[in-house]
Amino acid sequence: MRFATYEHQEHRRVAVVEEDGTLFPLPGVTSLTALIRETSGLPALLTAGSTALDGPAGPHVSQVRPLPPLQPASVRDFVTFEEHVEGVRRSVEGVGGVPEQWYAAPTFYFTNPHAIQGHRDDIPVPPGSSVLDFELEVGAVIGREGRDLTPRQARDHIIGYTVFNDWSARDLQSAEMKVGLGPCKGKDTATTLGPYLVTADELEPHRDADGFLRLAMRAEINGRVVGEDLLSHMSWTFEEMTAYASRGTRVVPGDVLGSGTCGNGGCLAELWGRRGEQSPPPLKPGDTVTLTVEGLGVLTNTVVAGTDPVPLPTGRRRLRERP
C-alpha cells in the first residue's frame, strides 16, 4: 500500500493512495507517525489501510497539498554507495579514493528531524551558502522497536520506504568538516521525504538474490536528467543498516534510515569531483529538482531564496588560567 499525509480544506489527513491517485482517508487519523507507533508493525498498518479502502473515497492527490508522509522520531543518514563517496570526497575534501575504514561498517550521521519538507514544498537556500546541492536517496522507515538486531530480524522492523532528498550546502559542509565532527549546518536546513510511504511488502518483487532492492533512480534539474543509478548498487542492505543502527541502542517506530546518495550523478558534488569543475552549477533560486525512484514515486521541490545569516563572532582564543 501507499500512504499519504496531506492537507485538504484546512484539515490534515492520512490516506491510502490508489493507483489512479484517489485518496481513501483513514477515519480519525491525522498523523501517520502516530499510527505507525500505535500499530507497531506492518500487518496492523495494512489492516488499517484495508479498512480505509472499504470506506468512502476522498479527493484526488492533485486536489490536495501534500505533506511529508511522516514526522520522523530521528533521521540517520548513511553513506552506502562507493561511487558517491569517491566523487564527493574529491569535491568536498580535495582527496580521491574511498577510505579503507568506510568498508568496515555502514557509517551514518544524525540529521535534523525538525527540518522535514514534503513534495512540492519550496526549499530555501541555507543562510550563508552559495553552493546548494541535492542528494537522491531512499529512506527506510522503522515500524517496530528493536535493539541489537540481526539483519534477519531487522527485516520485520522495516515498515516501508520513501524517496529521500538530503539537501546539502556544500560550502558550509566543506568548512565545518575540517573540525572533524562531520556535517552539521551544511545539512541542517531541509530534508525532503515523500511523496508517499510505500509499505515494505510492495517492494519485495524487486529484491535480488543478495537481498538488495533493485529500483531505478533518476535525478533531474529543470527537466534535464543529471543522474541515474540503481538502488541495488548499495554496499549494505537496509536490513544490515538497521542492524547496525540498533547496535547498543534502540530503533523505534518512526525512525528513518537514509540509504545515502546513489552514484552516477545522484548529487552535483559527485559530478564536480569527477569533472574537476562545478558543472552543472550549484542550485539557485528558481531551480526545480525532481527525484524519481521506481516503485516509490516522484519527489519535486523548487529552490527559493533564503535568509541572511545572523552574524556571530568568531571563537575567542582564551588564556588558560591554572589553579
Are residues 92 and 126 located together in one domain of the fold? yes
The per-residue pLDDT for range 93-113, each reduced to its tens digit, is 777 889 999 999 999 999 999
Question: Is 315 part of a structural domain of the chain?
Answer: no
Query: Region 271-277: what's the mean pLDDT?
Result: 92
Are residues 81 and 174 located together in one domain of the fold? yes
Are residues 242 and 138 located together in one domain of the fold? yes
DSSP structure class, residue 179:
G
The per-residue pLDDT for range 277-318, each reduced to its tens digit, is 999 999 999 999 999 999 999 999 999 999 999 999 999 988
CATH code of the domain covering residue 207? 3.90.850.10
* Lowest mean pLDDT, pick from 55-69, 173-187, 194-208: 173-187
Domain end position, chosen among 36, 67, 98: 67
Answer yes or no: pTM beyond 0.85.
Answer: yes
Domain that holds residue 37: 2-67
pLDDT for the residue 319: 81
Are residues 48 and 80 located together in one domain of the fold? no
pLDDT for the residue 95: 79
pLDDT for the residue 153: 98
**Rounded CA separation 227/229 (Å):** 7
pLDDT for the residue 177: 85
Question: Is 173 part of a structural domain of the chain?
Answer: yes
Are residues 170 and 206 located together in one domain of the fold? yes
pLDDT for the residue 46: 97
Are residues 61 and 111 located together in one domain of the fold? no
DSSP, collapsed to helix, strand or coil, labels residue 164 as strand
Confidence category of residue 18, pLDDT binned at 50, 70, 90: very high
Task: Supply φ then ψ for residue 254, to 5 degrees.
Answer: 100, -10
pLDDT for the residue 149: 98
Q: CB–CB of 259/138 below 8 Å?
A: yes
Domain end position, chosen among 67, 98, 119: 67
Domain end position, chosen among 47, 67, 87: 67
Number of domains in the chain: 2
For residue 11, the surrounding DSSP H or E stretch is strand 11-17
Question: Is 321 part of a structural domain of the chain?
Answer: no
